[in-house]
Chains A and B, each alone.
Chain A
Amino acid sequence: MTNALSCRGLSKSYGKIGPWALNNVNLDLPSGQIVGLLGPNGSGKTTLLKLACGLLTPTGGTLLVGGAAPGLETKKRVSYLPDRNYLPSWMRTGDLLDYFGDFYTDFDRKKAEDMLKRLELDKKMQLKAMSKGTREKVQLVLVMSRAADLYLLDEPIGGVDPAARDYILDTIISNYREDATVVISTHLIADVEKVLDTVVFLNGGKIGLVSTTDAIRAEQGKSVDTLFREVYRC
């Protein structure tokens, strides 16, 4: 079974001689898992996700998505939620449904509409008229309504209130499929650790630890959040 994501010696530097956003990363993520990419701001989480999407080119090493290098074919199977505004702000929610439906064959419009209705989001509203929290919910709905093999969510719960956070995590759980992998990159560890299969600690561009929530709790007798704070104490 090919790994959803596979990195060998992956390195990325934004300057000619460093600093290294990612430094010699080796990682294998099988499918059918919800993975937490945990680390402080600036640890390289976003860089890793962008590399997987083909928005950045590696400085060294390789990265494979479902066995293939990032390109046209992988983009059909990867659903990415960036940690920023990337959709044209003049578009209305309804327009975005058309847009995603036009470009992605795996987009389930009915599912998206149901989710929008449940969240009481108006299809006629323009993105620019929405609050930050509402906008993030819309972006999440669009991304999760695709039947992708790999979901890359960059800080999906960062900018929203606790109730919305619960809804977002619940959506991730309910959408779980055995042949798909969800990567959640976040620094809000306590909120997500119950939802994760695998936990990957990332700091300063290097992988610190790869384990499962239960293994950490069983071995250390503490939550992942507590362990993380100890390991990466400032």
Chain B
Amino acid sequence: MDWDFDDQRPIYAQLVEQVERAVVSGIWPPGSRLPGVRELASEAGVNPNTMQRALAALEQGGLVYAQRTAGRFVTEDEALIADKRRSLAGSLAADFVGNMRALGVNGDELCRLVRAAAEAPKAAGAPP
């Protein structure tokens, strides 16, 4: 998976977000095993303690759970994942609309643009 960081925001928060995205978009399927903390930190190029804290927060949220010796796994709770997807999509939408409004694009024109983009053939490399 591609880790992408904004250097002006705390890494911890970004790690949580990116793992959520990976789970929601299916890159990390439900029930799949996560690599170890050190391996993930190495992949992401971040401090292992920070990665550990992010994973702990995700465990709290239920998206990820730990089994003592076996490691960490993505939850199999489809409903939870769907919930997360909805809330992530919701904030992406809110951001989008906000940006569009700043351009002066509103209401019908906004909806027309969205529909056109949704019906257009998939761009190469876009996530499923």
Are any A and B Cβ atoms less than 8 Å apart in their complex? yes
Q: From A73-81, A94-102, A135-143, A190-198, give the one contacting chain B.
A: A190-198
Closest B residue by C-beta to A194: B46
Closest B residue by C-beta to A225: B7
Question: CB of A14 within 8 A of chain B?
Answer: no
Q: A59 vs B17: C-alpha distance in the bound complex, in angstroms?
A: 49
Chain B residues with CB below 8 A from A185, complex form: none
Chain B residues with CB below 8 A from A195, complex form: 45-47
- Interface code B4-31, partner A: CB below 8 Å = 1, 0 otherwise? 0101111111000000000000000000
- Interface code B105-128, partner A: CB below 8 Å = 1, 0 otherwise? 000000000000000000000000
Question: Assuming the A-B contacts A194-B45, A195-B45, A197-B50, are A176 and B38 also in contact, with contact meaning beta carbons closer than 8 angstroms in the complex?
Answer: yes
The reply to whether B48 and A176 form a contact with Cβ atoms under 8 Å apart is yes
Question: CB of B66 within 8 A of chain A?
Answer: no
Q: From A63-71, A112-120, A166-174, give the one contacting chain B.
A: A166-174
Chain B residues 43 to 57 lying within 8 A of chain A, measured CB to CB, are: 45-50
The reply to whether B7 and A223 form a contact with Cβ atoms under 8 Å apart is yes
Within 8 Å by CB of A222, from B8, B13, B45, B46, lies: B8
The reply to whether B10 and A218 form a contact with Cβ atoms under 8 Å apart is yes
- Interface code A159-196, partner B: CB below 8 Å = 1, 0 otherwise? 00000001001100110100000000000001001111
Q: A222 vs B7: C-alpha distance in the bound complex, in angstroms?
A: 7
Question: Assuming the A-B contacts A170-B42, A194-B47, are A214 and B11 also in contact, with contact meaning beta carbons closer than 8 angstroms in the complex?
Answer: yes
Chain A residues 1 to 51 lying within 8 A of chain B, measured CB to CB, are: 32-34
The reply to whether B49 and A174 form a contact with Cβ atoms under 8 Å apart is no
Question: CB of B41 within 8 A of chain A?
Answer: yes
Closest A residue by C-beta to B46: A194
The reply to whether B8 and A217 form a contact with Cβ atoms under 8 Å apart is yes
A107 to chain B, nearest CB (A): 21
Question: CB of A203 within 8 A of chain B?
Answer: no
Chain B residues with CB below 8 A from A193, complex form: 7
Q: A97 vs B61: C-alpha distance in the bound complex, in angstroms?
A: 47
Q: A222 vs B9: C-alpha distance in the bound complex, in angstroms?
A: 7
Chain A residues with CB below 8 A from B39, complex form: 174
Chain A residues with CB below 8 A from B38, complex form: 173-174, 176
Within 8 Å by CB of B11, from A33, A34, A170, A194, lies: A194
The reply to whether B41 and A213 form a contact with Cβ atoms under 8 Å apart is no
The reply to whether A34 and B8 form a contact with Cβ atoms under 8 Å apart is no
Closest A residue by C-beta to B40: A173
The reply to whether A217 and B10 form a contact with Cβ atoms under 8 Å apart is yes
Question: CB of A208 within 8 A of chain B?
Answer: no
The reply to whether B47 and A173 form a contact with Cβ atoms under 8 Å apart is yes
Q: A170 vs B50: C-alpha distance in the bound complex, in angstroms?
A: 15
- Residue among B41, B47, B48 with most chain A CB within 10 A: B47
Chain A residues with CB below 8 A from B13, complex form: 214
A170 to chain B, nearest CB (A): 5
Chain A residues with CB below 8 A from B12, complex form: 214
Instruction: Name 19 interchain pairs, CB-CB below 8 A, sorted by A.
Output: A166-B45, A169-B45, A170-B45, A173-B46, A176-B38, A176-B41, A194-B11, A194-B46, A195-B45, A197-B47, A197-B49, A214-B12, A214-B13, A217-B10, A218-B10, A222-B8, A223-B7, A223-B8, A226-B8
Beyond the given pairs A173-B45, A214-B12, A223-B8, 4 more chain A to chain B contacts, judged by CB atoms under 8 angstroms and listed by A's residue number, are A174-B42, A217-B7, A218-B10, A223-B7
